[in-house]
Structure 1
Amino acid sequence: MLSFYSHDHYCSGKEEYSKAPGKIYVTNDFIPQFFDQNTSIPSTVNLNSAKGKSHFHFDPVNNTITVKEKGFYFLQFSVQVFAAAGQANLPLKFELQRNGGTLINSQTSFNNNNFDVDYATSTLLLEELEKGDKIRLVLSGPSPFPQGRVTRLDFASVAIFEA
């Protein structure tokens, strides 16, 4: 049972983002990824580098983070997108998936306007993860992607750390 009473959990405010050994930060290192009418939705976001992998294994080929130790973890992601062409006010939806299923539906949904750069961060999720769970970041909407629309993903990151 997870409790947030002061005698169970103490934060001094001096922690970086977690003193616990179980943490990972994965990013795409600003390598752009494009989404258009030929993109199959949901579409996995390409990630290519990871830091602090003690309780996790990052597979850059399949863009998955595999949990090596069962526990309670905080999960959060960020994305930066640019609308290169097409429909204005396109509602984009990004989410984290565990083993192919949605952790929380519509984790981050926002309208992306033509020639606008949008940066969005998901809410901080607390989840119990099992050993062997595979986590991935996906663009899950709209489906299908509108004809003539091109969206460029400039940046993406996933942070997971022990609760």
Structure 2
Amino acid sequence: MKFEINSVAETTQLGIKLGKLLNAGDIICLTGDLGTGKTHITKGIAKGLGIDETITSPTFTIVNEYDSGRLKLNHFDVYRVSDPDEVYAIGFDDYIFSDAVSVIEWANYIEEILPKDLLHIYIEKDLAKGEDYRKIILTPYGERYNYIKELTI
């Protein structure tokens, strides 16, 4: 499923709509170049889950937990991880195999330890089409993510 986005607000709105569809235990893996909007879509997902806290990227802490919404959100940023064992050391399996929604920025850095069932979101910018233009591609792996067919912007 592919979306063409022309503003940060649209990126966040896509995240909000996705967040409203997410279920307990869902794993969302975000990839794309630096500055493409991974954190903006995560902020939208949090809003869609009903989380009203300020969402910040956990670049130095690896994971931030938010539990004020209809589902708990575990927000990972593994950009600075040099070895997947670092992620295991914080109890990665306990986080992602819980009833929380897990969003993992830079998931491609730890793909060898990710479960096979997940929703992959790739974000790409194309400056020739505008500074805020983004192509966002959602690819579900596993039957549980069939609900994304309902997603529209």
| Larger proportion of helix | 2
Between the two structures, name the one with larger relative contact order (CA 8 Å, sep ≥ 6).
1
TM-score (norm 1): 0.29
| Larger proportion of strand | 1
TM-score (norm 2): 0.31
Larger radius of gyration: 1
